[in-house]
Amino acid sequence: MAHQKIDTYAATLDPEVRQAVRSNSAAGTEKRYQILGADFGDPDPLRKLAGAIKQHTIEHLDQYLEQAERSLTANGVKVHFAVSTQDARQAVLDILNQTGCRKVVKSKSMISEEIHLNDFLEEHGLESVETDLGEYIVQIDHDHPSHIVKPILHKNRRDIAKSFEREGLGDYNDDPETITRRARAFLRQKYLQADAAVTGANFVVAESGRMVLVTNEGNSRFCLAGTRVHIALIGVEKLVPHDRDLAVFLNLLARSATGQQLTVYTEFLSGAALSARPSGPREMHVVFVDNGRVDTLASNCREILRCIRCGACMNVCPVYRQASGHAYRSIYPGPLGAVLSPMLAGKNFSQLGDLPKASSLCGACNEVCPVDIPIPDLLLKLRNRAKEEHLPSPGTPPMAPFAMLATAPMLWRTAMHAGVALDLTPKNLIPVPALQEWLKIRTLPAWRGGKFRSWYKHRPAKGKDRQP
Amino acid sequence: MSHRDQIFQGILKALTPLPERAAYPDYDTAATTTPRWLPAAEDNETLFRQRLTGTGGFFFESPADCAAWLKKDGAKSVYLAPQVAHLAAEFAAHLEVVAEYTRDAVDRIDAAVTVADGAIAESGTVILTDSGTPDRLAALAPWWHIAVVPRPTLVRTIGEAIAAFPADPGIVWITGPSKTADVEGILIQGVHGPGRQGSFFI
């Protein structure tokens, strides 16, 4: 029997990787549960409030995006807009060229993964170095992140030690502390040599133009201390209306992502660095990127635009834990990715239209979501869309013969009576592959087809079976 | 049509068919974002110490304690920001004191003492600004960073700190030492920023 693509991938996963993904995800879920429980008891009121603020924001995106543009401009930030992947890359390249920047340091940003920015910049002769430890390892391995918060969840220390040895960062040493120190020494030279920093943003406040960036390692801070130009690539949905809303989101983001009360470095930027200070960018650019988000806003899955990229849904997801992030064949894995990736794919929906099927609809993703996105509902809507677009559905038996039977009463009756032949046939001789596959793990009950009709036809006339 | 116009027209087209748009929820920040243990917790100063220590940071009773600990922990040189230049004697008793931080000092100066613009008790967070920090690198590149907290600037909650954002283009909240768990989920401190983060009150 044909399997879904995600199952096929999961079946070939290295058992060690599967174990690492499973235990690390489970630990993430546990830490989230502990801290939210200890601090808020029932976190639902806070989650639902955050969801309501974001839903309000995306449903008023016309107003808030315009307001954010005004506020950022008033803060001295140059605001750019990019519709597609190509537009976003080009916008970054144009800014770098206009400001004479040749060397770039990057702080982890999922949107830059979406547009494959590093490859593009390197093709144009620029150096672009990832500075988040995990992302740096992904970059030197020419790999892709398998988790939006923990990009190298699929790698172990031995893999990393080999990569560092290959890159000339010292002899083979798989001690995590040594690995981290070597990255520290290497990357701080990169920060100081670089001309520009490319970052994402966790939030942009429409009323103040304040941009929020969070990291645990301090890499975005170092990017913004070493360079003279700051370019922030930001999805148009990243807005929140007011500064005060940050209290709601910051109280949820780190707890949901890593089980921390706050991420170590939480930066609030409203423009270039103070000119009287020696370090920090002299100019700041914001590129607001659509890349499928506006189409998502127009769809019946717009709630996914509430997402604040904490990764809690993938940590808790039984499918993610078995399959790992790369099984989703896209930038965003897990339940979030099963909705967002096909949506952002736009015209190429069909290529990822199978992802919404990779779920048992258990609802755990919705329960942990800090912005209460009804992910199972959205998965169902996308399954429906895939069906309406006649996408092939491996693993689902063809329904046409059943449809024929079910719409022709005569055929149905005949089939019901003939079905008894199944009881008389050795099951392993029935030449239907899907049935054989099914029978490997299940037994077929005795045939009872037609019994109801027979009873209905011969039931006692009305009233006769009643006792006085 | 410009990219900007395309995006705004697309958004309008997406939102116009909505029968109604979700309202902004009415909420009270303190009532929704205060951890349930906070009302019964210690006073702000005690709480800040507890929470800072809980994040892997260090709290010192006095500048002299801090200086002695820096030496014991392995630091040899320390940069003192101008606002704390008057503490030079305490630090000079244990370490080489540097009065200026320059870019080429990144790998040379072991420790830095700068002054925070505020601190948050509930999370053990120090608040730094561009105005208050002579150089962003000074509070980031050394292995040891001490953020001195003036007592009156301490607030209790994250919500209060947000309500009182200083007018500064670069505010950073620092909650403990720089850390990562990227390699097999093992916690390592001191990735790009300080491996040791500490504070004392003035």
> Average pLDDT for residues A255-260, to the nearest whole number?
97
CA distance A309 to A303: 13
CA nearest neighbour of A6 among A387, A320, A405: A320
Residue type at A185? A
The CATH T-level fold of domain B45-201 is Rossmann fold (3.40.50)
- Whole-number Å distance between alpha carbons of A137 and A119: 15
> Is residue B115 helix, strand or coil?
strand
Q: Does the CB of B199 have a partner CB in chain A at under 8 Å?
A: no
Taking alpha carbons only, the member of A109, A166, A119, A115 closest to residue A139 is A119
Q: Of A239, A238, A240, A235, whose CA–CA distance to A287 is shortest?
A: A235
Question: In A75-218, which residue ranges form alpha helices assigned H by DSSP?
Answer: 85-98, 110-114, 117-123, 133-140, 157-166, 176-193
Other Cβ atoms less than 10 A from the Cβ of B2: the count is 9
Least confident of A437-446, B5-14, B127-136, B164-173: A437-446
Buried b (16+ CB within 10 A) or exposed e, A148-187: bbbbbbbbbbebbbebbeeeebeeebbebebbbbbbbebb
Helix (H) or strand (E) holding B52: helix B44-54
pLDDT tens readout for residues A309-339: 999 999 999 999 999 999 999 999 999 999 9
Q: What are phi and psi of A341, to 5 degrees?
A: -60, -50
- Mean model confidence pLDDT for chain A: 93
Mutate to test the interface with A, among B1, B15, B180 (most CBs of A within 10 A): B180
- The residue behind tokens 């801090």 is B66
Nearest residue of chain B to residue A157 (CA atoms): B183
Are A218 and B137 in contact (CB < 8 Å)? no
Cα angle vertex A61, ends A58, A67, to 5°? Answer: 135
Average pLDDT over residues A217-246: 97
- The token duo for A452 is 């109801």
SS3 (DSSP) at A391: coil
State the number of CA atoms in the 13 A half-sphere of B57 facing the CB. 26
Domains, chain A, with CATH or none: 43-291 (3.40.50.10420), 402-458 (no CATH)
Residue B118: CA count within 13 A, CB half-sphere: 24
Report CB contact under 8 Å: A247, B159.
yes
- For residue A189, the model assigns a pLDDT of 95
B27, B37, B79, B192: which to substitute to probe chain A, counting the most A Cβ within 10 Å? B192
pLDDT digits (tens, 9 = 90+) for A142-185: 999 999 999 999 999 999 999 999 999 999 999 999 999 999 99
Non-local CB neighbours of A349 within 8 Å, separated by 6+ positions: A342, A343, A385, A386, A389
Q: Which residue has the tokens 């040594």?
A: A178
B38: nearest CA partner in chain A: A39
Going by the DSSP 8-state scheme, the letter that residue A225 receives in this structure is H
Q: Does B187 touch chain A (CB under 8 A)?
A: no
Task: Tell me the helices (H) and strands (E) count for chain A, helix number first.
Answer: 24, 10
Q: Which of A268, A188, A171 is nearest to A225 (CA)?
A: A188
Mean pLDDT of A348-370: 95
The residues near B167 (Cβ < 8 Å, ≥ 6 apart) are none
CA distance B153 to A372: 35
Residue of A16, A18, A86, A35 whose CA lies nearest to A310: A35
Contacts of B125 in chain A (CB under 8 A): 262, 266
Q: Which residue has the higher pLDDT, A397 or B10?
A: B10
The rounded percent of chain B whose pLDDT value lies above 70 is: 100
Across the interface, whether the CB atoms of A52 and B180 are under 8 A apart is answered: no
- A5/B119: higher pLDDT: B119
Least CA distance to A287: which residue of chain B? B4
Strand A78-82's sheet: what is its strand order? A78-82, A283-289, A229-235, A196-199, A103-106, A127-130
Q: Does A266 touch chain B (CB under 8 A)?
A: yes
A101 to each of A7, A231, A273, B57, how far by Cα in Å?
45, 11, 18, 37
Q: Exposed, middle or buried by CB within 10 Å (0-12, 13-18, 19+), for B88? A: middle
Pull the structure tokens for residue A403: 């449809």
Q: Which residues of B touch A81 (CB under 8 A)?
A: 2-4, 6-7
* Complex ipTM value: 0.97
* Chain-centroid distance, C-alpha B202: 17
CA A78 to chain centre: 29
* Nearest alpha carbon to residue A313 among A20, A32, A9, A16: A32
Q: Distance between CA A91 and CA A13 in Å, rounded? A: 38
The pLDDT assigned to A173 comes to 96
pLDDT in tens, A52-100: 999 999 999 999 999 999 999 999 999 999 999 999 999 999 999 999 9
Q: Which amino acid is at A26?
A: A
Q: Contact at 8 Å (CB) between A449 and A416?
A: yes
Buried b (16+ CB within 10 A) or exposed e, A299-318: bebbbbbbbbbbbbbbbbbe
- The number of angstroms, rounded, from the C-alpha of B133 to the middle of its chain's C-alpha atoms is 11
**What mean pLDDT comes out for the span A425-447?**
79
pLDDT of residue B154: 98
Q: Which residues of B touch A39 (CB under 8 A)?
A: 35-37
For residue range B90-119, what is the model confidence (pLDDT) as tens digits? 999 999 999 999 998 888 999 999 999 999
In the predicted model, what is the mean pLDDT of chain B?
A: 96
Are residues B11 and A219, on separate chains, in Cβ contact within 8 Å?
no
Closest C-alpha to A71, from A220, A204, A226: A204
Q: Which helix (H) or strand (E) holds A204?
A: strand A203-205
pLDDT surpassing 80 at residue B51: yes
Enumerate the H helices of A259-317 as residue ranges.
293-298, 312-316
Q: How far is B171 from A270, CA to CA, in rounded Å? A: 9
Q: Which of residues 101-160 of B touch A (CB under 8 A)?
A: 102-103, 106-107, 122-123, 125, 130-131, 133-137, 140-141, 157-159
Nearest Cα of chain A lies from the Cα of B153 at a distance, in angstroms, of 18
Question: To the nearest whole angstrom, how far is the Cα of A357 from the nearest Cα of chain B?
Answer: 26
Give the separation between CA A25 and CA A310, rounded to whole angstroms.
12
